[in-house]
Structure 1
């Protein structure tokens, strides 16, 4: 785009803004954004956006681009891929002349995803990822750059390009760890690494990184990506010949589908993977049963690639069981796909061989079988060659290491000979001894210094009675986490709770009982929290829990779990059972409640309401205080 065109577009934007001034308080676009924030479904959001399409001429160029991208985002969630691609393209067309920006990078990345789902053709969806990475480098935003580099790495997943893909992922991983980015970003890198290893048949390494990605996404309960990783884990386990692992991950897919009814395609993928695992074990009747259930649910998924793959897998299953009619029917259904990608080359050749055999064209059938054998042979040769290169590299490293050891020994012999000639061997040994003793002493001193420093730091951060974070440390940690969540727009909640009738416990049973109650409740709370949640004691019997990545619903579930756990663990004091309960207040990060002070104030008000409601209950802050 020429500089002249850029100037023209910017001038249009300025003129539009002047003629139709945008005021955050009363503009149509501002009203639209407020309405979208209150939408309860993607369908409702799309309907709202469509109602405001007639107002486009009143908005600035940038606002028009944002409109198209928002509309495309919601259409993607509804699997309206053709409409989403069109609207992403409109937004990209507007933003490209204006240079690098987060909305432009987001639109390019999401359009590439839509094109991936539609075609699975790298030549069609990868150019957008190349552009997104280039713009991300210009923008110098670490989170955006990591996402763009990781998405681009998926495009370098064949044998000839895998080193380029790994370099991109290594760069992304270094940035992610340095910037302390979210588990989602780290998981994306692990996922891309696994895919690259899968393509070059390093299946053990692929499984390792898929499992690391699954664990990262599980830590933030990202169900969609968890299912995607389980899908990959089943495939890797099958290639490794580990049927027990494959069955374990299939069971996890069904469990995830059962607790995620909002994701209707989860069940399709669970049955599909159960079918291909059964086929790998040659349990053919089970494979047919599971794959047929998957086909019956094909309308639940927008990823038609796997519907075609189900037909092909069924064709092989029927062929192995001797049911030629069904094998031919499924082969024809698979070959009806007009866009069979290179990834399905094996299945295409197999289905064509089945159909040729059905019509008694033996020559064609044999040629197709030979093409499969040739492909398998080439893959093995490529893998063996890669293994030979790795072995050669390893051998060269060992040889160099051995030569260095020999050289070191020769130098040592010459040094000792020279010391003998000068009659200074004793001095040399003494010098070495002194150095070694000094080094060991210094190392020991450094070890104890580091250990003491860590111990002092731990004590400075830990409550002496409960072993959880003390007030100062929990406040520091909470403030840092809340600021980051508010900046990124992430979910976050806090829980403030204290022990009901704590003074009565002290007065009746003594301070020893009070201390024991505080310690027991801290222990029970730790056992009831999610990974990544933070607990601290902020007062006598008062505790603060910080819940990253938790909205109001999740926070309420955690609070109720804590309350029930405490109530189920009476205090054992001199063989006497003392019932102990807690009251809890929950507040959630919002635009008008975005600091630690505001969140604690809101939670404290909710805690006060819980006390007034009879104690042993949870209240959610309804009207957070302004920050």
Structure 2
């Protein structure tokens, strides 16, 4: 796979497409012997394919054209190799050009299949997938990447396997499947490193960093991106460094360092304006609008959105257009134009939903609920808020799953690294033994010493891996702030306890409660005080429970209590005791004039409950009834009475 021929098409909050490390020079000089000419052409091919020399994209195109003029028209192998390069060099400035590129790639795929050229087939599949991705056709693109991976694996070509994993990983990350994306990109990064491809090794490391950013590990992403920028700086590869700086700016936005991000966006916008990169400018303007809205600078966000509007192409940039409408709606809300904002949100929502951009979908649904409320359309606002809550809960669950998977992937990577080191040590031992046979007794002592060191090292690695595995499992099942079981843990134990109670014919109930007006506490006293309040509530709630009851934090200010062997009356007593105890918490050591209360929903398991989640839904409904009654009270699920 050659460097992908596009000027960085971007959308705010998601990935930057490929920045190119490019070829400057082709071989020159007097004509040489036939063998030397062939070697020179082969070297030029490798430089283009591996992106090992640096220059602008136009330099790359000129080098590609110059190489074509030097090829032997009768050499079928050279012509096919050149055609594979040319697939990636097709123009892609309009939807018509992209569709033409897709059609051409399809023809080349069919020809490669007819002559059983598996390497060509894999490369053309990747090329077609890339143009499908540029056009926003993500499902066909993913199918092509996966087909290319299968062909490359069948041909046992490590370079094409790495290319396919890298392409699939980027697309999966864009679509939100971050765990699988991280796995693909890490394997691709390792394979590029093993085959010695420096450009793609650095590039996939930047994609790994961007995936960590999407997972919420911003500090890790920042560290890796700065490492990649240093690599490109040493290669004097400014274009690739700038692409990576854009990802770093997105990371600064996520860290709340808005001015640092804004400085990078402005610098890149100046370069893009100078070079006439209109599509790149569109993505940068939208990123600036996002950045300025987060920073509260509505005037600068408005200017960026106005400058981006003429650059929008609905046929080519559907997602960019939808994001522009989202940010424009946000800006209109800030100036009080709720009617216009609502129309833009309605137009943007289906596009964002279709492209599985759930984070932006949640933003749209929440903002739409607020706008509808401002317009007095309360019933529709409630529906929008319910949709937002479902999307938000799905995002939280997905993030927890991805975090757990990421920990497992990192653990497996560390284990494989230890295994590789052990294998290398074993090879060293075998070489030492061969040398021992040649030099006899002189190396006997050295071999024994090496064996002892290796065994000791392996033992230390095994102990370290066991400890890390134990620690990771504990972290994955525990809420960091309160020390209580987290959502995954309390759901797992609740399902098991419910199954046991049903098997024994015993009662089972649960409580769902959350903190009343908790957002007001955060807004008034700050998030640090809010965290201390949650810790106080956790301690007080735990003191109210029976011996076998289990308390867990399910997210934000929400908690869940499982009550084995408890009918509705017993559960109601526990809930009332919990409600009163929390209302009596002394918070003077936290903040002056601060008090707290909770609303509690109670539900008892019935025969009609299909599973644990159904019982939680009934308890949630009871919780909403408690809030409707004025909060700081207990409400029973009507199906349980």
TM score, norm. by length of structure 1: 0.47
Which structure has more relative contact order (CA 8 Å, sep 6+)? It is: 2
TM score, norm. by length of structure 2: 0.46
Radius of gyration: which is bigger?
1
